[in-house]
Each structure stands twice: as structure tokens, then as C-alpha cells.
Amino acid sequence: MTSPTPAILPERGLADRLTALFWRHPRLLLAVLLTPPLLWLGVVYLGSLFALLLQSFYSIDEFSGVVKEEFTLKTYAELFRAQNLDIIIRTLVMSAAVTIGCALIAFPIAYYAARFARGKWKAVFYLGVMLPLWSSYLVKVYAWKLILAKEGIITWAAEGVGLSMILNAILAIPGIGGNSLSTSPLGTFIVFVYVWLPYMILPMQAALERVPTSMLEASADLGASRAQTFRTVILPLAMPGVIAGSIFTFSLTMGDYIIPQIVGTSARFIGLAVYQLQGTAGNIPLAAAFAVVPIVIMLIYLTIAKRKGAFDAL
């Protein structure tokens, strides 16, 4: 007679012993899983952020150009010089304009994709937004350099349909115009809107998809016209999505330094200032202080957004 198999199998080696250990102490498994990624993010990322903060409290010796590793607020005070303040204000105005531009163009796309697109069209809209989102950033910017160039397709098209007058009139407007679209602030604005547009569409669409159809029917039953339903039901419910999208467009515009370098006037933005200060100028403390500005602005922005419930739409 064979003896019955024991209820508890014998251990087959280290792997089994570890399994038993993890089973008895689930926290241990958790710690094993979390330690490598947290070490990486904690040391590499948080460590670097801390280094950034530390650098911003250093200053540079104006004569020798050597970084003085002593605590000072001098570098932050430099941010308030007229020329640096100009850079910050210019960046904020551009970020706000780009955010509004993105919201206006994104809304019909997100609305159509969320409410009306079905079946095949749903996939078309999804891929149609996702592919430009993920495809190469530099290639997109480059494409616009070709488009906006003085000898490029827009000038050609404007001549073709006899709208050169209007194009020239727009370019003549001081403040947004310039020699050609590719050397004007308007050009910078267009490229920013294009590049960050998908970041606005996706959260907007997510928010709009959550608007229940029954609510629209109720609105209609209560006698609201389509316009009234849109204004009093759909738009307020889409707002968290708009705010979530604006976090991306605002933050990305504020930190970008490639686009203003390639398309636009040579006027500096925060990102470009950071890049030039740490590179050619070798003024890492001031570059670090400049980089802290977007962090502070985004923290304020995120606090407001959180109160408006934007994070549920992410």
C-alpha cells in the first residue's frame, strides 16, 4: 500500500523557501519589488532635482566665472532684472496663447471622436491623434520649418489663390509678424499649437466620453435647445478635461527650447535661456534658477487644477 501524498509538499530548494517567505511576509515581496525602481527614481531623479535646487542657491563669480558654492539668494534676485523678467513674461504669454489655441482646435476633434465616431471611425480618430502624438518631435518641427519658409508651401498657396495681400498684412502686424512666417512669433505659435495639440485632444475626449447620453436627453426633455445643452451641460462637464489638457500644453510650451530656436525670432524663452546659460555662458546657477520658475508655476497651476477636479480626467 502506498502512503498518501502529504498535504504539504516538501520544499524543493531555494525558490520554494523564498516563496514561502514571501507568502508569510507579503511586505517583504513588496519591498523586493519596489526597491530597485525607487532607488533609481529616488537617487537619479529626486537627487537631480535636489541638485538643481542646490545649484540655484549658488552664484557665479562675475570676474572668474567660477561657481561659488555658498548659499545665496543673489541668483534668484537676478531673475527680476528687466531682461530676465521679459523672458519669463514672454514665455507665460506664449504658453497661455498656445493653450487657448490648442483648446479651440482640439474641441471639435475630441467632441466628434467622443460623441459621434463609431466603429471604424473611432479607430481612425484614435490612431489619428495617437500617431502624431508619438511620432518624432523633431521631424514635426522640421516639417513646419519647410511649410513656413518664405519660399515654402504657404507662400505658394497664398499666391496661388491670390491671398498674398492678407499674408503680408498679417506679417506686417508688429509683435506677431516678421520677415516671413518662419521668423515670426506667429510662426512659433503655430508650431507650438501643432506639436502639443494631441496632448489637449486626449484628456478632452476622455472627459467628453464620460458625459452620459441620458443627461443630454434629460436636458432636451426639459426644453433646452442644442445650443443650451451644449453650453450648460456639455461644456461644464468637459471642463476638467480641458484643464487636464491645458496642464500639458502650458507646461510643455513653458519648458520647450527647440521650437523657438528653429522657428521664430531670436527672442528668448525660459527653456532657451536655461539651455544657453548652462551651455555657452557656463552660468549653471542662473540656469538652475530659471528652471525652478516653471516648476513653481506648474505647482501653482496643478494646485488650482486639482481643486477643479481635473485629475479625474487624466
Partner 1 sequence: MHSDRASLGLKIAAVGGLLFLHLPILLIFLYAFTTEDKSYQFPPPGLTTEWFGVAWNREDIWPPLYLSLWVATIATFLAMILGTLVSAAMARASFFGREQISLLIILPIALPGVITGMSLRSAFSIMDIPFSTWTIILGHATFCIVIVYNNAVARFRRLSGGILEASADLGANSFQTFRYVLLPNLGTALLAGGMLAFALSFDEVIVTTFTAGQQSTLPIWMLQELVRPRQRPVTNVVAIVVFTATFVPILIAYYLTRGGSETAGAGK
133 contacts partner 1 (rule: CB under 8 A):
yes
294-313 positions binding partner 1, by CB under 8 A = 294-295, 298
Residue 202 interacts with partner 1 (CB under 8 A)? yes
Does the footprint of partner 1 cover residue 208 (CB under 8 A)? no
Element (H, E) at 60: strand 59-60
Judged by CB under 8 A, the stretch of 74-82, 139-147, 161-169, 170-178 that binds partner 1 is 139-147
Distance CA 265, CA 275 (A): 17
For residue 179, the Cα-to-chain-centroid distance in whole angstroms is: 29
154 contacts 263 by C-beta, under 8 angstroms: no
Residues 26-45 that bind partner 1 (CB under 8 A): 26-27, 29-30, 33-34, 36-38, 40-42, 44-45
In the stretch 238-267, what mask flags binding to partner 1 with x, by CB under 8 A?
Answer: -------------xx-xxxxx--xx-----
Give the residue with the Cβ less far from partner 1, 171 or 284.
284
**Minimum CB separation from partner 1 for residue 309, in Å?**
17
Does 287 participate in binding partner 1 (rule CB under 8 A)?
A: yes
Q: Does 151 bind partner 1 (CB under 8 A)?
A: yes
Confirm if 241 and 207 have CB atoms less than 8 A apart: yes
Q: Compose the 212-241 pattern: x for residues touching partner 1 by CB under 8 A, - for all others.
A: ----xx-xx-----x--x------------
Kindly tell me which residue out of 60, 106, 242, 286 binds partner 1, with binding defined by CB under 8 A.
Answer: 106
Type of residue numbered 84: N
Listed residue (84, 137, 55, 73) closest to 272, CA to CA? 84
| Residue 209 interacts with partner 1 (CB under 8 A): yes or no | no
What residues contact residue 70 under an 8 Å CB cut-off, 6+ apart? 58, 59
> Which of 175/223 has CB closer to partner 1?
223
- Segment lying near partner 1 (by CB under 8 A), choices 82-90, 127-135, 167-175, 235-243: 127-135
Cβ nearer to partner 1, comparing 1 with 138? 138
CA distance 278 to 283: 5
Measured between alpha carbons, how far apart are the two ends of the chain, in Å? 65
275 makes contact with partner 1 (CB under 8 A): yes
Residue written as grid cell 497661455: 96
283 belongs to the binding site for partner 1 (CB under 8 A): no
Residue 73 sits in the site that holds partner 1 (CB under 8 A) = no
How many angstroms separate the CA atoms of 76 and 78, rounded?
A: 5
Q: Do β-strands 67-68 and 59-60 pair in parallel, antiparallel, or remain unpaired?
A: antiparallel
Residue 223: strand, helix, or coil:
coil
152-181: contacts with partner 1 (CB under 8 A): 152-153, 155-156
In this structure, are residues 283 and 277 in contact, taking their beta carbons and an 8 Å threshold?
yes
